[in-house]
Chains A and B, each alone.
Chain A
Amino acid sequence: MKRIWALCVLIIYRFLNFYLLFAVFSLLFIASCTKKTETTPAFHATPYTIQIPLHFPRELNIPTDNPMTVEGITLGRYLFYDGRLSGRPGPDSLMSCATCHIQAHSFVCGIDHPVFTGGHPHGLTGILTSHYMLPMINLVWTNHGYLWNGMVAEDNPQAGYRNLEDVVGMAIISSQEIHGDTNRTKIMIQQLKGYPGLFSKAFGSSVITEKNIARAIAQFIRTLISADSKFDRFMEGKVQLTGSELNGYVLFMTEQGGDCFHCHGGDGNPLFTTNLFYNNGKDSVFTDPYDRFSITGSVSDIGAYKAPTLRNLVFTAPYMHDGRFKTIDEVINFYSSGLVWSPSISPLMHHIATGGVRLTPSQKADLKAFLLTFTDSTFVTNPVFSMPINMPDE
């Protein structure tokens, strides 16, 4: 009996031993693996949260595969201002986003630009852009497609034409803009001291890709938020408008006044654009192959373009997709008495029978005074949006 007991104990002991040894080895193996991964720490960029101003939309247009990070925005700002984005080092071949998108002009080139005559930019090749510039303001809330005709939109069946990142990518290679070559640009930026490290911090890899260049710049552009105009402070109850501005406010917000709000927003939509597309009665004959009709194929979209934001209007002349109006006064005169009927005119242009809203000179002055309350000087001087003092390789 004792022998049997001894045998059992021995068997149990051996089994235990075996399992003990197995457990010890397993733990060692796991530990060694863990140690290995610890030598290459996981990539963690610092999340950046956009502070949504009062009355602004809650829904932001940020793709899930390009979340905003402090490091991404920092990198994007450098790239936005770096002329070597063209992939060419020569001083006459430099072109960056900021070559045309100038902060002092709310990120359009401005009507008084020394090179881009009348505010119409062209690329490094000298080819003019199809349209004049749209202000680069509050694009994080763009929800119906980018550009004057909304070509780059989430529902575009063609990949590469869906979001702000795609717009940036297009600008880099377009002959009307930077006219870059993706390989040359990548190689150029890769060679610049400082950039690989910034890419590593922003995207976890120091290998520079076209995609990550576009992602970083798009992140920076999404931070370009204007929400500190006199009108914003009026809405917050911090300031009062003058008598003339208030008269203009009434004209702006009433159907029987100037009726601006249906397309350009107002107290219920402080973006001052619906981001939708309208034929606003500029022409009766349409020759531009890049209107909204070219995207939708709907005849009601012939001659239609995006209603641009009116924020910082004072800095963004000339006006309309073809830059035909040089001053705010010209624009007001157009809506007052210069409308032209066409079959596709927007139904919101309901004053067409009288050629416009027929404002008196004092009403025009009041409306202009109100439009100028959308001026956000802090936006055009904010150092966070301006050119970095030193580039990464300096």
Chain B
Amino acid sequence: MRHNYLLYRFIFLVITSAIISSCTKHHSLEITPIKYGDIIFTFSHKVNGESLKFDTMLYRTSLGNNYKVTDLQYFVSRVSLHSGKGKWNDVKTDDGIHYTDARDNYSCSWWVNDLFPAGTYDTVAFTFGLDEKQNTSGRFPDPPERDMFWPDILGGGYHYMKMNLKWKNNTMAQSLPFMFHLGIGQVYAANTVNPDSIIGFVQNYFRVSLPCKLDLSADGYHQILIEMNVDRWFDGQNAFDFSAYPNGIMQNQEGMFKACMNGRKAFSVTIAN
């Protein structure tokens, strides 16, 4: 009896081992381990090719406005990388949204948790600001993002960007503040900015697509440096004159439109492995 039992056990073990070894062999033939690379996005800010210096009246627009920047905060969202194989790989970390305060070094680096397949990438793209689906009031209850809120009566959600400036031209005795704030624009029924006459809203966010050459290997972090060239918000095809908007542009769609047209050319990308 005991002899039979041992025999059955032996046969069972042999069969099981055979099955397991065959399975293992089968899989080892088919699985090719996918390698992933890690990415850090870094945001830097320049004026005329030099690093932005805050609080110093160093800069001048093409229309002769001298200016200094006191604050620069903005959102980018739906950040995505386009692979050589023709596929867009979206950043999922933080829902693909990043807030940058140019005065805060910590916020200028974004370590994303996403694993991107190793390989070649040819484009970095992102939305400047937040689109309709993501730009919902109350999304960020905590500071600093909270303090970007855009009043509900003006369209709600969040400022895409707050760039606070002081400017002065040659005829002015003293500098004046300028709030270069971008977000949802309003359409007013009459020639007025009375919120009671708002008949529609304009989504001013825009997509930025920057060609690059990123060879993503599985070793170490790869840095994608996104650079904002601050001067380009004011210069170029839609030269921006601060004196034309004495009350700011939050309630002036024409001003925001002009700024956003310029903003499309304000970014560049560099890859640092």
CB of A299 within 8 A of CB of B137, answer no
B residues engaging A (CB < 8 A)?
55, 70-71, 137-138, 141-143, 146-147, 149-154, 158, 164-166, 174-179, 181, 193, 195-196, 246-248, 250-251
CB of A267 within 8 A of CB of B141, answer no
CB of A56 within 8 A of CB of B55, answer no
Please classify the interface of chain B as helix (H, G, I), strand (E, B), loop, or mixed, using the class held by over half of its residues: mixed
List chain B residues, Cβ under 8 A from A351. 247
CB of A57 within 8 A of CB of B195, answer no
- Given A255-B181, A256-B247, A353-B246, answer yes or no on A267-B143 (Cβ-Cβ < 8 Å): no
CB of A266 within 8 A of CB of B146, answer no
Q: How far is the CA of A351 from the CA of B247 in the complex (A)?
A: 7
List chain B residues, Cβ under 8 A from A300. 55, 70
Q: How far is the CB of B187 from chain A (nearest CB, A)?
A: 15
CB of B149 within 8 A of CB of A266, answer yes
CB of A254 within 8 A of CB of B154, answer yes
List chain A residues, Cβ under 8 A from B146. 57, 268-269
What are 30 inter-chain pairs, A to B, with CB distance below 8 A?
Answer: A58-B141, A58-B142, A59-B143, A250-B153, A253-B153, A254-B154, A254-B193, A254-B195, A256-B247, A256-B250, A256-B251, A261-B151, A262-B179, A265-B147, A267-B149, A268-B137, A268-B152, A275-B143, A300-B70, A341-B174, A343-B175, A346-B177, A347-B164, A347-B177, A348-B177, A350-B176, A350-B247, A350-B248, A352-B176, A352-B177
Q: Which of A249, A300, A349 has the most CB of B within 10 A?
A: A300
Q: How far is the CB of B238 from chain A (nearest CB, A)?
A: 21
A residues engaging B (CB < 8 A)?
55-59, 143, 249-250, 253-256, 261-262, 265-269, 274-276, 298-300, 341, 343, 345-353
Closest to A274 in B: B147
Please classify the interface of chain A as helix (H, G, I), strand (E, B), loop, or mixed, using the class held by over half of its residues: loop
Q: How far is the CA of A251 from the CA of B174 in the complex (A)?
A: 28
List chain A residues, Cβ under 8 A from B175. 343
- Given A58-B141, A274-B147, answer yes or no on A350-B177 (Cβ-Cβ < 8 Å): yes
Q: Beyond A255-B181, A341-B174, A353-B176, list 17 extra A-B contacts (CB 8 Å).
A: A57-B142, A254-B151, A254-B250, A255-B248, A256-B193, A266-B151, A267-B137, A268-B146, A268-B152, A269-B147, A274-B143, A299-B55, A343-B175, A347-B177, A348-B164, A350-B177, A353-B246
Q: How far is the CA of A206 from the CA of B247 in the complex (A)?
A: 61
CB of A348 within 8 A of CB of B179, answer yes
List chain A residues, Cβ under 8 A from B247. 255-256, 350-351
Q: How far is the CB of B240 from chain A (nearest CB, A)?
A: 16
List chain B residues, Cβ under 8 A from A59. 142-143
Q: How far is the CA of A56 from the CA of B146 in the complex (A)?
A: 10
Q: How far is the CA of A269 from the CA of B139 in the complex (A)?
A: 11
List chain B residues, Cβ under 8 A from A265. 147, 149
Q: Which of A56, A250, A262, A300 has the most CB of B within 10 A?
A: A262
- Given A341-B174, A347-B71, answer yes or no on A268-B149 (Cβ-Cβ < 8 Å): yes
Q: How far is the CB of B74 from chain A (nearest CB, A)?
A: 16
Closest to A52 in B: B141
Q: How far is the CA of A55 from the CA of B165 in the complex (A)?
A: 30
List chain A residues, Cβ under 8 A from B153. 249-250, 253-254
- Given A255-B250, A352-B176, answer yes or no on A347-B150 (Cβ-Cβ < 8 Å): no
Q: How far is the CB of A268 from chain B (nearest CB, A)?
A: 2
CB of B142 within 8 A of CB of A347, answer no
Closest 3 CB pairs of A and B: A268-B149, A347-B164, A253-B151
List chain B residues, Cβ under 8 A from A266. 149, 151
Q: How far is the CA of A348 from the CA of B55 in the complex (A)?
A: 14
- Given A268-B149, A274-B143, answer yes or no on A250-B71 (Cβ-Cβ < 8 Å): no
Closest to A301 in B: B55
List chain A residues, Cβ under 8 A from B196. 250
CB of A267 within 8 A of CB of B142, answer no
Q: How far is the CA of A346 from the CA of B176 in the complex (A)?
A: 10
List chain A residues, Cβ under 8 A from B154. 253-254
List chain A residues, Cβ under 8 A from B179. 255, 262, 347-348, 350
Closest to B174 in A: A341
Q: How far is the CA of A262 from the CA of B141 in the complex (A)?
A: 16
List chain B residues, Cβ under 8 A from A343. 174-175
Q: How far is the CA of A250 from the CA of B193 in the complex (A)?
A: 11
Q: How far is the CA of A59 from the CA of B195 in the complex (A)?
A: 33
CB of A347 within 8 A of CB of B151, answer no
List chain A residues, Cβ under 8 A from B70. 300, 347
Q: How far is the CB of A81 from chain B (nearest CB, A)?
A: 32
